[in-house]
Amino acid sequence: MSDLEIRPVPEADLDRMINFADLVFHGRTADDEYERYRWLPRRSERIGTYAGDTLVGQLAAFPMRLSVPGALLDCSAVTYVGVLPTHRRRGVLTSMMERMHADAIAANRPVAALWASQSAIYGRYGFGNADRAIGLEIDTSRPLKLRTEPDPRPLRLIDREAAAEVIGPIHTRAIERRPGGLVRDAEWWLQNVLPSEDEEDDDLSEPRIAVMDGDPGGYAVYRTHHSGRGTVHLVDLEADTPQVEAALWRYLSEIDLTDRVKADSRPVDDLIPYMAADPDQVTVKSEYGALWIRLIDAPAALRARSWASADSLVIDLHDARLPANQGRWRLAAGACEQTGDAPDLTLNTTELAAAYLGGVSLRMLARLGVVTEHTPGAAERLDRAFSVPLAPYTNDGF
């Protein structure tokens, strides 16, 4: 690294970052597509590693708010990570992660989050995979009968420009109920959730938005595909009640000239596999790791999240990269104080991050031997304190 320098990538070099991403992710951006991709590096803190004037590594981090149990936390959302094939495995990524950590501390953001291109990369930097998602398919060649009575109120279609105002509040309520979501602003809705063209499939229609107004409310964002087999591709669906949710699934299942609904990302505890009267109509096709999080300021993050029990216990936290997190902490609802008391549990910051949203069991991690119980039952007690009514879920790729 001694011949290399880390410095910010100037705003004039947004296209250079896009080209760099094409190089490391094996993509190609057409001339008329640059404008579509500039928005994300533009709103980011752009970390570059340079050999003279040559960009050899890059990382972008942008401020977002992440829903955690009982709170919304300031978060550095990390993306656009890459190192030239000529400069790999010389510590370039490690140096950029250190800069990102320092920036997040300076900006008072207690957590960082990312989607990993490969699971093997980010554990070493203290990131743990904190939620999972499923992909599913519904056979709608015959009527989809539901066990939940759909809300009878009418649905309407709205324009994408109205999304932030009309369905934004419904989404905000959803992520306050369920950890793992990101607070979406108007640009995020338009560019990330509702781009007029789908990044991966040119044959898909513009995004359509069906809304049930009022309180309770709900919405479904979807695209359709008519060549070959008519398919509804669900992008996002949130509802305040199971009855509104049922009305939205019924609507999606009845769209003319289609005979299946595909959803690539749904929560692992999604209702639809159980809501369908005939479970054979709904097939879960995949399950995969979604968001990885890093507790940048572990005590602040632990104080902020809600507890589901009145318990109190001591953890011995190991964090080789951020020493301020290191040490013995007494945890209780709203509390995380340094202590000299003997620990009930010893764990690494990576395991704590994985368990933090309530989606990964510390008891399971103790059985694996990666978390050590000094007091029998301590992992189960912390699981109970961290437990959440709805599984964590993230439906914002970046």
Ligand X SMILES: CC(=O)SCCNC(=O)CCNC(=O)[C@H](O)C(C)(C)COP(=O)(O)OP(=O)(O)OC[C@H]1O[C@@H](n2cnc3c(N)ncnc32)[C@H](O)[C@@H]1OP(=O)(O)O
Can 398 be counted among the known catalytic residues? yes
Q: How far apart are CA 149 and CA 113, in angstroms?
A: 38
The verdict on whether residue 93 carries a ligand-binding annotation is: yes
The verdict on whether residue 79 carries a ligand-binding annotation is: no
Min CB(68)–ligand X separation in Å: 20
Q: Interface with ligand X includes 56 (CB under 6 A)?
A: no
| Smaller CB separation from ligand X, 115 or 251 | 115
Half-sphere exposure of 379 (CA within 13 A, CB side): 21
DSSP for residue 258: -
Strands 231-239 and 260-267: parallel
Q: Interface with ligand X includes 293 (CB under 6 A)?
A: no
**What is the per-residue binding string for ligand X in 235-274, x denoting contact by CB under 6 A?**
----------------------------------------
Binding residues among 16-45 for ligand X as defined by CB under 6 A: 24-25
Instruction: Select from 36, 43, 88, 328 the one that contacts ligand X (CB under 6 A).
Output: 88
Q: How far apart are CA 130 and CA 290, in angstroms?
A: 7
Min CB(106)–ligand X separation in Å: 20
Can 386 be counted among the known catalytic residues? no
8 A C-beta contact, residue 266 and residue 236: no
Separation of CA 29 from chain center? 25
Min CB(193)–ligand X separation in Å: 19
Rg of the chain over CA atoms, in angstroms? 22
Token pair, residue 292, equals 């990885």
8 A C-beta contact, residue 156 and residue 213: yes
The verdict on whether residue 371 carries a ligand-binding annotation is: no
Q: How far apart are CA 280 and CA 273, in angstroms?
A: 9
The verdict on whether residue 346 carries a ligand-binding annotation is: no
Token pair, residue 395, equals 């439906």
The verdict on whether residue 24 carries a ligand-binding annotation is: no
Min CB(105)–ligand X separation in Å: 19
Q: Interface with ligand X includes 92 (CB under 6 A)?
A: yes
The residues assigned a catalytic role are: 122, 398
Which residues would be at the binding site for ligand X (CB under 6 A)?
24-25, 78-83, 88-94, 114-118, 120-121, 124
